[in-house]
Amino acid sequence: MQQPTCINLRKVTRYHCGNVIRNMIFSKRSLFGIIEQDEEQIDAVFTLIEYVYYFSISDYLPWLSVFDLDGHKAIIKKAYATATKHIDIEVDHRIQTWKDGNKSLEEDILDVLIMLKDTNGNPLMNVKEIKAQVLEFFMATVDNPSNAVEWVLAEMLNQPILMQKAIEELNIVVGINRWVQESDLPRLNYVKACIKEAFRLHPFMAFNVPHVSVSDTIVGEKYFIPKGSIVLLSRLGLGRNSRVWEDPLKFKPERHLGMEDGGEVVLTDLNLRLLSFSIGRRGCPAVKLGSTITTMLLARLLQGFTWNLPPNSPCNDLIESSKINHFSTLPLLAQAKPRLAKVMYL
């Protein structure tokens, strides 16, 4: 009998999300676990994402920046160099390929960026701008989905009945003779409810990206926000508001079932009772993509494998990091055993 394999699910979820966006941009798959540089790039991207939200005294006293008192600048410089090294190589090579006439069709996002023209037929973006945009795509794609799926599985391992409900839904909607496809996702409402609950209870960051008020305004008829104020929206404050959510600290996916028009669970909340992806005029333009990546990742992990805690682990550590991010303190480790026919994994 095949013995279960112990898996670091934080690496699995992060590298999967990195692979998806890499394939969309470069039409290339990463060989995580084989090519160390591919793993280093995604790890560096996550370092950059974390430090977007870190507090630094030099943000408010810019003249202190030269001293790098908290060491953030050195960390960011190192991570940036690692994250952009492979991006620069890919972009430079692709641009040269177009110049040499060896490409004629736009096959991926990078081709589209290179071939964008203004009204005069001139390139709309220079090389530096293209590279910056590619890095932005990576940073905007990998954090929310990977964090949500890791937390869902962590909660499910402590409440196996939740995992069983999700697997039963997959068995009914998809079956065991084929892999779940994007066309199946609208009917996987319990799976999506689990993800939405993770967004509510375990957001990737405590706050959204800071914004500046461009004019005096009043919110909720009693909160006056002066022009020039730095505005932060608390993801934790919304998702764990006891006046909105019953048992706000308990992981209960069922609370999201039947709440949406038409009966289909979506991962956003227009009433702002939780914040999964940003919302409003500056909302995330890729909500559909992020939702699809997240749901497909969780669905395939649940469909393809039986998950259990490692031996001598009666329960899973659900303590959030004391840092500014809200990862679990330790990466989620779990034993995986294939639950489908061997031919499905070839």
The DSSP annotation for 277-313 comes to S--STT--TTHHHHHHHHHHHHHHHHHHEEEEPPTT-
What is d(CA 36, CA 15) in angstroms, rounded to the nearest whole number? 12
Inform me whether the pLDDT recorded for 98 exceeds 70: yes
Query: Domain containing 330: what range?
Result: 6-344
- Residues at the binding site are 284
Q: Is residue 297 part of a domain?
A: yes
Q: Identify the pLDDT of residue 103.
A: 85
Q: Identify the pLDDT of residue 285.
A: 72
Number of domains present in the structure of the chain:
1
Q: Is residue 1 part of a domain?
A: no
The model's pLDDT over 185-203, given as tens digits with 9 standing for 90+, comes to 999 999 999 999 999 999 9
What is d(CA 329, CA 317) in angstroms, rounded to the nearest whole number? 8
- Residues at the binding site for heme are 284
Q: Identify the pLDDT of residue 70.
A: 87
Residue 184 to residues 167, 247, 263, Cα–Cα distance (Å): 14, 31, 15
The model's pLDDT over 13-64, given as tens digits with 9 standing for 90+, comes to 999 999 999 999 999 887 665 666 778 889 999 999 888 877 788 877 888 8
The model's pLDDT over 314-340, given as tens digits with 9 standing for 90+, comes to 566 665 655 555 555 678 889 999 999
Q: Identify the pLDDT of residue 201.
A: 94
Q: Identify the pLDDT of residue 45.
A: 93
The model's pLDDT over 231-245, given as tens digits with 9 standing for 90+, comes to 888 889 999 999 999
What is the CATH number for 255? 1.10.630.10
Q: Is residue 283 part of a domain?
A: yes
- Both tokens assigned to 263: 């009966």
Q: Is residue 133 part of a domain?
A: yes
Q: Is residue 211 part of a domain?
A: yes
pTM score over 0.85: yes
